[in-house]
Chain A
Amino acid sequence: MTQELTVGVGAGELATADMVLNIGPQHPSTHGVLRLRIVLDGERIRHAEPIVGYMHRGAEKLFEVRDYRQIIVLANRHDWLSAFANELGVVLAVERMTGIQAPERAVWARTLLAELNRVLNHLMFLGSYPLELGAITPVFYAFREREVLQAVMEEISGGRMHYMFNRVGGLKEDLPAGWLGRTAEAVAVVRRRMADLEGLLVGNEIFRARTAGVGVLSAELVHGYGVSGPIARASGVDFDLRRDEPYLAYAELFAPGGPGRVVTRSAGDALARFECLLEQVHVSLDLADACVDRIAALPRGPINVRLPKVLKAPEGATYAWTENPLGINGYYLVSRGEKTPWRLKLRSASFNNVQVLAEILPGNLVADMVSILGSMFFVVGDVDK
């Protein structure tokens, strides 16, 4: 609802001049070093341009001089909130090239960890987005929940952020005794406590006023800019690789009658994006439960395969994409038969998702800019690679 009344003084309007305002690279709501160069008329944005690259670390070039185990270390760092999912893409690509088949136990354990990672990622944004809208409490609840999950992630992998737990052909180590039980418990705790987070935001009139109808992203723009993940699904683009091109154990989980379902909204506004994220947490928790039950029922077996001393991908190319928490994360692996890739192109979700800001920011107020920026759920490392 925008009603504007221009009040004239004297013969005509007051003369106004546009103001150029740099949001970032050091600004509280850019979560790092994204820079937006916006042109303001009063508080209304006339023009916006996302300027990226302040955190470019040359990940793709670094990949080219690392063997496949070393690449995992680097690959889990561009989107530091979805480290497990990033590792996964690399090992899936290499496994496909080399024809290595991960054992069933590894497949289910990977699926479980990927879903826990998704919950961790989403909780982060469920906490930080309200913070941008001035609600200071949700982030503490979100981190309380994250801590519960991080404890089980740390117990199995040894890491809290950069798990470094995937290996070509499986996982680094098997699960510690009793870990499955503790994971089920953690999932139950998080599910129970989600009510606190929802109590603060769902149905909150102010939150609704700040997000509903703000920053509407059309399905055409989604397709035009290659936007993916929960943001795209909030605009009604019903596409989720877990269902549409299943990897790991998702084919079974997303089969009819399974716990998996794709969350979509049609409004395409900030509220829809937030609701998508919130509901995906619940779906992921259900998926995690299903994985825990499944792993407990699996027969005894290995969690990885024995690799040759020097792992070389045969000459050729492959593209492995996964449904990362923030969207589609793809690795285009070109090998010339060396132990390092000749080229490993990284398609990261946030990079595309951020580009669309130039289209949806103009016309909004600075206050809404923050609301839109926060609802695009990006990680600057994932943008700048």
Chain B
Amino acid sequence: MGLPGRGLAGGLATTFRTMTRRSITQQYPDVSPDLPPRTRGVIALLEENCTVCMLCARECPDWCIYIDSHKETLPATTEGGRERTRNVLDRFAIDFSLCMYCGICIEACPFDALFWSPEFEYAELDIRELVHERDRLALWMDTVPPPPPLDPGAEEAKEIAAARKAVAAPAPTGDRHGEGAAR
């Protein structure tokens, strides 16, 4: 403790010094933020990969994913073959007014049909509008960034390890997304 008022003067000096420096404000609507690829902004749906297995809807901690489907029978492709049934997606909706942005659905999806996108500008005036139906979810796919490369100390990503194996062995067919079916 020196002179009385030294602490007060220190405060005044600090604020004055800050005033002479550039401020850190980011002028958001004019300048959009630079978000890292892992940012959990909104969930995108790649419909082609969805098999209506319902895992995401079941694993969701607050059950905010709505899925409707019906069964379709496909005629046998070969003479005397068996008919096959498959699930057809009727509705896939995520209620973002309930969503807790935990990402469990994306983790749970075994077919890579769900992805995180850093996009966040989808506020609505009516809370009911926050239910994004499948077409809206599909639109978010365009904004999904590629995952960031990993630290050199990290184990190889599962996808890359699987791809390496796939190159060594004959490539599986019918895999549309390339990294699907990696598990």
Contacts and interface: CB of A to CB of B under 8 A. Distances in A.
Please indicate whether A and B come from the same complex rather than being unrelated chains.
Answer: yes
Given A154-B36, A158-B38, A164-B103, A174 B116 contact: no
A141 B14 CA distance: 11
A159 B15 contact: no
Nearest to B103: A164
B122 to A, nearest CB: 17
A69 B56 CA distance: 13
Given A157-B38, A159-B101, A301-B153, A208 B7 contact: yes
Interface in B72-106: 100-104
B102 A164 contact: yes
A291 B5 CA distance: 40
B101 A162 contact: yes
Interface in A124-147: 137, 141, 144, 147
A299 B153 contact: yes
A302 interface: yes
A166 to B, nearest CB: 11
Interface in A146-168: 147, 151, 154-159, 162, 164
Nearest to A196: B14
B13 A155 contact: no
Interface residues of B, number: 37
Contacts of B142: none
A10 interface: no
Contacts of B169: none
Interface in A57-102: 66, 69-70, 72-74, 77
Nearest to A203: B7
Interface string B37-50: 11110000000000
B123 interface: no
B103 A204 contact: no
B180 interface: no
B107 A172 contact: yes
Interface string A191-222: 00000100111111111100000000000000
A73 B100 contact: yes
A14 interface: no
Contact of A203 (B10, B15, B35, B61): B10
A118 interface: no
Contacts of B24: 144, 147
A303 B155 contact: yes
Nearest to B157: A174
B6 interface: yes
A139 to B, nearest CB: 13
Nearest to B39: A158
Given A69-B104, A205-B5, A205-B7, A300 B155 contact: yes
Given A141-B18, A173-B38, A204-B11, 6 more contacts: A73-B100, A157-B38, A158-B38, A162-B101, A199-B13, A201-B11
14 contacts: A69-B107, A70-B102, A144-B24, A155-B36, A155-B148, A157-B38, A158-B38, A173-B150, A176-B36, A177-B151, A199-B11, A200-B14, A204-B7, A300-B155
Interface of A: 66, 69-70, 72-74, 77, 105, 137, 141, 144, 147, 151, 154-159, 162, 164, 172-180, 196, 199-208, 295-296, 298-303
